[in-house]
Amino acid sequence: MNAGSTWTAYNRITDRGIAWYELGGNQWVQAKGGALLDPTRRNQVVHQNAIVKILHGAATIFNTPSAGRTSLDRRLAKDSRWRTFGYLYDGKDVWYQVGTGQWISQH
């Protein structure tokens, strides 16, 4: 699985304290990192503390993940790591909250 890719999990099991997710066709991945997106909460902020790493160039910071967003004219450097306080999945992209009124896109 590529970093930053999005997958649907169809099943979850725990074996000896380790969580595994089925991605389909009896293909399983260990739950080590990333955000588990709940499709029933689309366009809702999910409060979840995590650390994200900026992988593909600098990440532009926006004032909101919603339509009508504007850039705050600041960027997070490639390969830097940032604490997030929540995420929003809009059905196409994942947005991470890196501060009050500060959001970056997964892409």
pLDDT in tens, 54-104: 988 999 999 999 989 999 999 999 999 999 998 898 888 889 999 999 999
The per-residue pLDDT for 92 is: 83
Question: Which amino acid is it at 95?
Answer: W
**Which residues contact residue 30 at a Cβ distance below 8 angstroms, ignoring those fewer than 6 apart?**
18, 19, 20
pLDDT in tens, 33-54: 555 666 677 888 888 788 888 9
The per-residue pLDDT for 54 is: 92
The per-residue pLDDT for 44 is: 85
Instruction: Please measure the distance between the N-terminal and C-terminal CA atoms of the chain and give it in whole angstroms.
Output: 15
